[in-house]
Amino acid sequence: MGESLVRVPGGAQHRSDSLSRPVQTLRVKMVLLGSSGVGKSSLALRFSKDQFKSTSPTVGCAYLTRMVHLSDVTLRFEIWDTAGQETYHSVTPLYYRGAHAALLVYDISNRETFIRAQVWLKELKKHYIPGSTVIWLVGNKGDLAQDRQVSVQEGQSLAHDRDLFFTETSALTADQVSELLLAVAHRVYECIGEQQGGLSEWQETQLVDLQHKDLFNPFASCCKVGP
């Protein structure tokens, strides 16, 4: 409930269309990694609610969701926004272990965050099985192009050398944010979704209103939640 829906142009279906045939919903765990202050939380909020607001440093990890509707399947993105501070570095693997997609985020106006992204990549590769995670290098804060310290070519070169995907975004202006999420959705579904045991199915469950005496009343449940 309250989740947004992204539709792919040309392959989209209206909700009324889904009444004619069931559309499977698959779970996608996506983690955002990177130094503190690169805009991970802002990107996560854009992904989830298409909103922007100034945020404080994430403590531990934040969790958001987004439904992405492709032509024949819906992907439920479970977005884990990890803290970038060194204090939480040791526990971060607990959050990104088992991720189907990982976004390595840096600030194009801060070279140090670009260097740190490479450290995050090294750590990530200790905890994933090749082929089980789609990894994307994301240069955020494209709105600060006038203060750029990392060129587009440098980002592309690193991504090419490390066999990553690459995109520059701006969480502030929303530039390329929706496009990035759709691209990740397609790659995850193509690379992992068809594998045996790749993506598990997600189904809405119901909460029973315990304040009702008749617990068998089908109308006693009013809320939908996900695992």
Which domains are assigned to the chain? 5-225 (3.40.50.300)
Exposure string over 185-198, b if 16+ CB within 10 A, otherwise e: bbbbbebbbeeeee
Average pLDDT per run of 10 along the chain, which is 227 residues long? 43 42 84 91 92 64 88 92 58 75 96 94 81 93 97 98 96 96 95 75 62 41 36
Whole-number Cα distances in Å, 223 to 17, 19, 161, 209, 215: 24, 21, 47, 9, 15
Angle, to 10 degrees, between the axis of helix 177-188 and the axis of helix 40-49? 80
For residue 178, the tally of other CB atoms under 10 A from its CB is 15
Q: Are 54 and 123 in contact (CB under 8 A)?
A: no
- Residue 196's contacts (CB-CB under 8 Å, 6 or more residues apart) are none
- Residue-level pLDDT at 113: 97
